[in-house]
Structure 1
Amino acid sequence: MDVTATLSLGDPLEPARKATAQMLQNRERTFSLPQPFYNDERLFAIDLQEIFQKEWLIAGMTCEIPTKGNFMTLQVGNNPIIVIRGAEGQVHAFHNVCRHRGSRLCTTAKGKVAKLVCHYHQWTYELDGRLLFAGTEMGAGFDMTQYGLKPVNVKTAGGYVFISLAEHPPAIDEFLATLNHYMEPYDMENTKVAIQTTLVEKANWKLVLENNRECYHCNASHPELLKTLLEWDDVTDPRADQGFKDHVAASAAAWDAEKIPYAHASFGLRNRIVRMPLLKGTVSMTLDGKQGCAKLMGRIKNPDLGSMRILHLPHSWNHCMGDHIIVFTVWPISAQETLVSTKWLVHKDAVEGVDYDVERMRKVWDATNDQDRRLAEENQRGINSSAYQPGPYSTTYEFGVVNFVDWYSERLLNNLGAAPAPYLKGVVAQ
């Protein structure tokens, strides 16, 4: 850590870091986390530093920056980031911070520029981050080559833009190659965001993820979603009956005929891709189960592709259907506040009001997101009580939550430089 950031007084979070590692090493694996993990601001700061500033995050979609000069901005903790399309289609990512006096360069969520110009003193940067102009006021000896924008690691695959603020981010190329293969039928460069929503939940980001990683609560809470969704991710799920297995087999035969990838692919506990059918007679996550967009995506001819589910920890889940794709990302704001972003993508030539109706397409997940918000917020209120203590997960219905907490625990201990917990022996978290 930069000593200037700690005023030469050492890391003020060091005691909290040690306590955090100790709690993770001593916790019971199949129980929820100790209370500070959900409501302590010091532990939240550690989450930002050791998870969100070191792991790979989904910054957005390549279709959001289709041509040279298109940019999008995002915020990772206190770090403003810019992702921009440069020459020859290359995607760059930088800290959205001028090298002169630190002002943000781009102040809008999206836009298009010829060059990156700081509004404060007009320092000007090329789209690849090189400083082009700083004015004669800096003196004849000023070396512009030393003051380019600070880069952020960036990779693209399957229409997604991944960034990592780490100096040495974890390996991800094997997953990205598989993601490219599974997303090929969608021709993601020829898509567009039909609608985007953001929802602020008054709950810790891990509670938002835990809620997503199980459908134990679905029957009681998500009537709209269950008009189309089958909760099981695999025929090996111990709850899956023979009727579900037969439905999967029939669907797989149709997908094979169209050369649509569907087999379960996992990369440790961090990433998973699997295509599962929707409820029989439905083809899309709409209230009536019919197509949300008349124009199918990419080379797809059969609308009945079920939902290809993509998991990317620490913060994203996705549903890819034949007619549209839904991308969810989670962004921590504070120990007890989280922003959830939802994007609905369609074929770029689909016409709103002709091929799709935005309100109809978003209705199921608008309802589901709000239902999940209320669940997470009530979860947070209870956890804040002095009566809270870690409770047991169901290893049958909540195995996805156990996997998420295993991944989180392994990565946090690893990034803290602490010894792994005994219960994580053999767990491949990546």
Structure 2
Amino acid sequence: MDVTSTLSLGDPLEPARKATAEMLHSRERTFSLPQPFYNDERLFKVDMQEIFHKEWLIAGMTCEIPAKGNFLTLQLGDNPILVIRGAEGVVHAFHNVCRHRGSRLCTSDKGKVAKLVCPYHQWTYELDGRLLFAGTEMGADFDMKQYGLKPVHCKTAGGFIFISLAENPPAIDEFLSGLAHYMEPYDMENAKVAVQSTMHEKANWKLVLENNRECYHCSGSHPELLNSLLEWDDTNDPRADQAFKDHVADSAAKWEAEKIPYLHAGYGLRNRIVRMPLLKGTVSMTMDGKQGSKKLMGRIQNPDLGSMRILHLPHSWNHCMGDHIINFTVWPVSAQETIVVTKWLVHKDAVEGVDYDVERLRQVWDATNDQDRRLGEENQRGINSTAYQPGPYSKTYEFGVVNFLDWYSERMLNNLGAEPAPYLKGVPAE
């Protein structure tokens, strides 16, 4: 580690790291986490350093940067990040920081450039990060080769852009290969973002994920969503009845005939892909269950593809239907504040006002996101109380939450260099 990255007197977070490991070792696996995991700023900084700075994250979609010079930016904790399409279609990611005085290079969310030019002193970089111009003011012996942009690990698959700030990121290629296979029918290079929303939730990021990983709350909170969604993730769900299993079998036969991938694919607890039918008589997550976009995606001919659900921990879930895709990403801001970004994607040739109406497309998930925001914020307020203590999860309705915390506990302890917790023995967290 660069000695300038910590205080001269040592790492100020060392006590928090030690406490984090101790609490994860001693917690009850099927109970919610101890209070500091949800509201302590020191532990939040550990989360950022050991989870969000070391795991793979979805930075965006390749269709958002379709041509050479197109870029997007994001903020990951204190780190501004730049993702840009370079020569021959290659996608690069860099720290969005000029090597001269540290200014941000790109200050807008998205755009297109011929070269990357720092707005402060006009240092100029090629799209692959090489420094091209620093001015004669730097002197004749200045070596531009030593001052290229600092790269960020970047991989693409199935239309998704993944980045990691880690020096040595965890293995992900097996999942990316599977993702490319499952996303092939959608032809994501020929998609576009029809609309996106950014929601600020006054709750810890783990509460946002815990809420997403169960539908125990759905019947009492999400009437719009349940117009089309069947809450079960698989026929192995302990609550799945025979009628649901028969519905899955009938749907699978049609998908098989059209060569649409649908079988459950799991990659430890971090990643999962599974296609599940929607409520009978519905084909899309709209208020009436009808298509949100008249133009189907990619090579898809049948709108009744249910929803292919893609989970990517620590921060994303997705619903892929025949007519559109919904991508969700979660970005921690502080111990008790999180940003949730939602993107609705359609075929790039779909025409707004003709093939789709933006308000109709987003209506169900705008309502659902806001309902989840209120639930998360009330959850946070209660957890902040002196009365809070970890509570038990349902083994049937909340097994997905247990799986998420198994993954979180395993990755946190591993990244801290701590011993695995005894209750995680045999758990396929990767």
Matching residue's letter, 1:386: T
Q: Which residue of 1 aligns with 2:424?
A: 424
Does the CA contact (< 8 Å) of 1:293 and 1:346 recur in 2? yes
Q: Which residue of 2 aligns with 1:62?
A: 62
Structure 2 Cα separation of the partners of residues 340 and 7 of structure 1: 32
Cα displacement string for residues 117-147 of structure 1 (whole angstroms, at most 9, x for unaligned residues) = 0000000000000000000000000000000
Structure 2 Cα separation of the partners of residues 139 and 238 of structure 1: 70
Matching residue's letter, 2:76: V
Extract unaligned runs of 5+ from structure 1: none
Q: Which residue of 2 aligns with 1:393?
A: 393
Show structure 1 runs of 4+ deviating over 3 A: none
Structure 1 Cα separation of the partners of residues 298 and 195 of structure 2: 19
Does the CA contact (< 8 Å) of 1:66 and 1:85 recur in 2? yes
- Tell me how far 1:3 sits from its aligned partner: 1.8
1:170 and 2:170 matched: yes
Q: Which residue of 1 aligns with 2:7?
A: 7
Matching residue's letter, 2:371: Q
Q: Which residue of 1 aligns with 2:221?
A: 221
Q: Which residue of 2 aligns with 1:235?
A: 235
Matching residue's letter, 2:354: V
SS in 2 for 1:372: helix
- Tell me how far 1:8 sits from its aligned partner: 1.2
Structure 2 Cα separation of the partners of residues 238 and 406 of structure 1: 19
Cα displacement string for residues 269-316 of structure 1 (whole angstroms, at most 9, x for unaligned residues) = 000000000000000000000000000000000000000000000000
User: Within 5 A, what are the aligned runs for 1:23-34?
Assistant: 23-34=23-34
Q: What is the Cα-based RMSD across aligned positions, in Å?
A: 0.4
Q: Which residue of 2 aligns with 1:247?
A: 247
Matching residue's letter, 1:402: V
Does the CA contact (< 8 Å) of 1:72 and 1:110 recur in 2? yes
Structure 2 Cα separation of the partners of residues 72 and 263 of structure 1: 33
Q: TM-score, normalised by structure 2?
A: 1.00
- Tell me how far 1:238 sits from its aligned partner: 1.6
Cα displacement string for residues 59-107 of structure 1 (whole angstroms, at most 9, x for unaligned residues) = 0000000000000000110000000000000000000000000000000
Matching residue's letter, 1:365: W
Q: Which residue of 1 aligns with 2:136?
A: 136
User: Within 5 A, what are the aligned runs for 1:189-228?
Assistant: 189-228=189-228
Q: TM-score, normalised by structure 1?
A: 1.00
1:370 and 2:365 matched: no
SS in 2 for 1:319: strand
User: Within 5 A, what are the aligned runs for 1:71-150?
Assistant: 71-150=71-150
- Tell me how far 1:403 sits from its aligned partner: 0.2
Structure 2 Cα separation of the partners of residues 89 and 294 of structure 1: 29
SS in 2 for 1:8: coil
Structure 2 Cα separation of the partners of residues 383 and 2 of structure 1: 37
Deviates more, 1:279-288 or 1:6-15: 6-15
Cα displacement string for residues 326-360 of structure 1 (whole angstroms, at most 9, x for unaligned residues) = 00000000000000000000000000000000000
How many residue pairs align between the two structures? 430
Matching residue's letter, 1:152: V
SS in 1 for 2:407: helix
- Tell me how far 1:7 sits from its aligned partner: 2.9
Matching residue's letter, 1:98: C
Q: Which residue of 1 aligns with 2:354?
A: 354
Q: Which residue of 1 aligns with 2:42?
A: 42
Structure 2 Cα separation of the partners of residues 428 and 234 of structure 1: 18
Matching residue's letter, 2:133: F
- Tell me how far 1:4 sits from its aligned partner: 1.3
Does the CA contact (< 8 Å) of 1:3 and 1:10 recur in 2? no
User: Within 5 A, what are the aligned runs for 1:232-381?
Assistant: 232-381=232-381
Does the CA contact (< 8 Å) of 1:125 and 1:133 recur in 2? yes
Structure 2 Cα separation of the partners of residues 166 and 373 of structure 1: 30
Does the CA contact (< 8 Å) of 1:39 and 1:335 recur in 2? yes
Structure 2 Cα separation of the partners of residues 237 and 165 of structure 1: 35
SS in 2 for 1:331: strand
Structure 2 Cα separation of the partners of residues 265 and 58 of structure 1: 19
Cα displacement string for residues 8-59 of structure 1 (whole angstroms, at most 9, x for unaligned residues) = 1100000110010000000000000000000000000000000000000000
Does the CA contact (< 8 Å) of 1:306 and 1:322 recur in 2? yes
Matching residue's letter, 1:185: P
Structure 1 Cα separation of the partners of residues 423 and 300 of structure 2: 44
Structure 2 Cα separation of the partners of residues 317 and 306 of structure 1: 16
Does the CA contact (< 8 Å) of 1:82 and 1:96 recur in 2? yes
SS in 2 for 1:72: strand
1:21 and 2:17 matched: no
SS in 2 for 1:371: helix
- Tell me how far 1:395 sits from its aligned partner: 1.0
- Tell me how far 1:165 sits from its aligned partner: 0.2
SS in 2 for 1:83: strand
Cα displacement string for residues 245-289 of structure 1 (whole angstroms, at most 9, x for unaligned residues) = 110000000000100000000000000000000000000000000
Matching residue's letter, 1:12: P
